[in-house]
């Protein structure tokens, strides 16, 4: 199985693995799962072998093991391959399959997201620790918290804010096309708007890309390889209409998947186009930090940053979000002890592996509460919903938002958006 050959079973990955730390079971560690996947690849284990399926299902896919590995094991490639083989012999769990179907079909997604938005005002009342209560807590975490910065001040004096971003030396304007996705488009449209406003305030022109679809990450991670390929092809075709624009992404999971299209479609007729797309993908923090970003109005907040796994481990982006937050006047960054560990969301994992997901989350909630932030910032919708629901279930009303929302508040307070 591709990616596993360099493994020497050294065990450096053990302490990076949230499920191993939660259970203490070697089979729930990367090293243990590699042994299982090697058995599958060599034909020593059948794709329906109960221990194989059980322990691979329990992997979060957070990829914290990859940077910890001194041998360069490509764990993500092997895991996706193993899950694809298993999915051909055993159906993907019903809940995950249902989620995948909805996310891939706009005709189903649009009414479902509309219904969720209608229920959102009730979510705060119904949120709690039970399975249903936690689901409502996740929905509650999707609220637009833009008004929490308080009343708009009067238009600031010119000295209160940085000057407009000047045009580049060749008088061209950098172009960015926003990837909208599925959950982000349905429940986090306010984050997309914040991304668009802050990019424009930093000198970017925006291109609107039609016929976008789900990135396919949920499908790839659960073994539905063919569906992931289909969705990837759709996005490659859609973004080919704007070949000169960088692709701005405000969801870490989507960004990691889009950057992996070149590998995913390496044997496809669209392989060259897929590589070209992957090379254009940027997390929004990667776009804004080199541009400055512009300095807005002070917001006066204690912020705990929690890096999404698919930003930190899959994309290797660690400093840009922190630099973005530190560029905002009045921000005090507060450290929490569990920042580098997965929150337990992992796409549909929190639905299919409820108990282990909550166990992994509990340590993070304890660490965040101890840090006493005014809010938590993280750049992935699943993380926002999971951590937000966890804090609510623990009785703490600490907002969890995207870092770009804080920059957007700062710019709004500074009057950058006034016509």
Q: Are residues 172 and 82 in the same domain?
A: no
CA distance 353 to 195: 32
pTM of the model: 0.92
Same domain, yes or no: 80 and 185: no
Domain-embedded: residue 114: no
Residue 5 lies in a domain: no
**Do 133 and 55 belong together in one domain?**
no
Q: Residue 191: which H helix or E strand, with range?
A: helix 189-201
Instruction: Mark which of 241, 272, 288 sits at the end of a domain.
Output: 288
**Length of the chain as a residue count:** 419
Alpha-carbon gap, residue 417 to 248, rounded angstroms? 20
The answer to whether residues 180 and 255 belong to one domain is yes
330 lies in the same domain as 400? yes
Query: Which pLDDT score is estimated for 158?
Result: 36
CA end-to-end span of the chain: 57
21 vs 51: CA distance, rounded Å: 19
Claim to verify: residue 256 and residue 306 sit in the same structural domain: no
The parent domain of residue 266 ranges over 164-288
Residue 155 lies in a domain: no
Query: Does residue 263 share a domain with residue 346?
Result: no
178 and 273 share a domain?
Answer: yes
| Residues 57 and 31 both lie in one domain | yes
CATH number of the CATH domain containing 197: 1.20.1050
Q: Are residues 298 and 271 in the same domain?
A: no
Report the pLDDT value the prediction gives residue 32, as an integer from 0 to 100. Answer: 96
Task: Please report whether residue 333 resides in a domain.
Answer: yes
Are the C-beta atoms of 237 and 211 separated by less than 8 Å?
yes
Cα separation of 86 and 89, whole Å?
5
Q: Please, are residues 384 and 137 in contact by the beta-carbon 8 Å criterion?
A: no
Q: Is 331 helix (H, G, I), strand (E, B) or coil?
A: strand
* Of 239, 269, 288, the domain-final residue: 288
Q: What is the pLDDT of residue 419?
A: 63
The predicted structure's pLDDT at residue 44: 94
Same domain, 30 and 68: yes
Q: Is residue 23 part of a domain?
A: yes
Residue 230 lies in a domain: yes
Q: How many domains does the chain have?
A: 3
- Say if 220 falls within a structural domain: yes
H or E element at residue 409:
helix 403-414
Q: Are 86 and 42 in contact (CB under 8 A)?
A: no
Q: Are residues 77 and 133 in the same domain?
A: no
Could you list the pLDDT tens digit for every one of the 419 residues in the chain? 667 888 999 999 999 999 999 999 999 999 999 999 999 999 999 999 999 999 999 999 999 999 999 999 999 999 999 999 999 999 899 999 999 999 999 999 999 999 999 999 999 999 999 999 999 999 999 999 875 554 454 443 433 444 444 444 444 789 999 999 999 999 999 999 999 999 999 999 999 999 999 999 999 999 999 999 999 999 999 999 999 999 999 999 999 999 999 999 999 999 999 999 999 999 999 999 987 899 999 999 999 999 999 999 999 999 999 999 999 999 999 999 999 899 999 999 999 999 999 999 999 999 999 999 999 999 999 999 999 999 999 999 999 999 999 999 999 999 999 86
Let me know if residue 104 belongs to a domain.
no
Query: Which of 263, 288, 313 is the last residue in one of the domains?
Result: 288
């Amino acid at each position: 199985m591709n990616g596993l050959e360099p493994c020497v079973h050294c065990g450096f990955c053990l302490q990076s693995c949230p499920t191993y730390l939660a259970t203490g079971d070697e089979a729930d560690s990367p090293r243990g799962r590699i042994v299982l996947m090697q058995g599958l690849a060599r034909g020593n284990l059948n794709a329906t072998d109960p221990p194989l399926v059980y322990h691979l299902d329990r992997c979060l896919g957070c990829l914290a093991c990859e940077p910890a590995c001194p041998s360069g094991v490509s764990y993500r490639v092997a895991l996706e391959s193993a899950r694809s083989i298993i999915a051909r012999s055993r159906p993907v769990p019903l809940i995950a399959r249902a989620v995948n179907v909805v996310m891939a079909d706009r005709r189903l997604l649009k009414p479902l997201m509309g219904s969720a938005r209608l229920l959102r005002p009730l979510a705060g009342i119904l949120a709690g620790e039970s399975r249903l209560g936690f689901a409502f807590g996740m929905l509650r975490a999707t609220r637009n918290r833009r008004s929490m910065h308080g009343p708009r001040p009067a238009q600031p004096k010119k000295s209160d804010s940085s000057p407009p971003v000047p045009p580049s030396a060749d008088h061209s304007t950098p172009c960015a096309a926003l990837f909208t996705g599925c959950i982000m488009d349905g429940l986090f449209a306010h984050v997309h708007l914040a991304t668009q406003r802050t990019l424009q305030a930093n000198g970017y022109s925006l291109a609107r890309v039609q016929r976008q679809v789900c990135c396919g990450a949920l499908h790839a991670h659960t073994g539905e390889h063919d569906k992931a390929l289909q969705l990837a092809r759709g996005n490659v075709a859609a973004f080919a209409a704007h070949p000169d624009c960088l692709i701005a992404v405000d969801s870490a999971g989507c960004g990691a998947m889009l950057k992996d299209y070149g590998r995913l479609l390496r044997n496809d007729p669209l392989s060259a186009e897929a590589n070209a797309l992957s090379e254009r993908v940027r997390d929004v923090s990667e776009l804004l930090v080199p541009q400055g970003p512009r300095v807005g109005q002070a917001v006066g907040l204690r912020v705990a940053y929690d890096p999404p796994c698919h930003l930190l481990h899959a994309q290797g982006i660690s400093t840009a979000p922190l630099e973005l937050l530190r560029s905002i006047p009045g921000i005090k960054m507060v450290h929490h002890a569990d920042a580098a560990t997965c929150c337990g969301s992992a796409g549909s994992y929190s639905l299919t592996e409820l108990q282990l997901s909550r166990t992994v989350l509990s340590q993070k909630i304890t660490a965040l509460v101890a840090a006493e932030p005014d809010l938590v910032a993280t750049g992935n919708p699943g993380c926002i919903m999971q951590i937000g629901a966890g804090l609510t279930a623990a009785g703490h009303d600490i907002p969890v938002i995207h870092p770009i929302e804080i920059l957007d508040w700062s710019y709004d307070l500074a009057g950058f958006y006034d016509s």
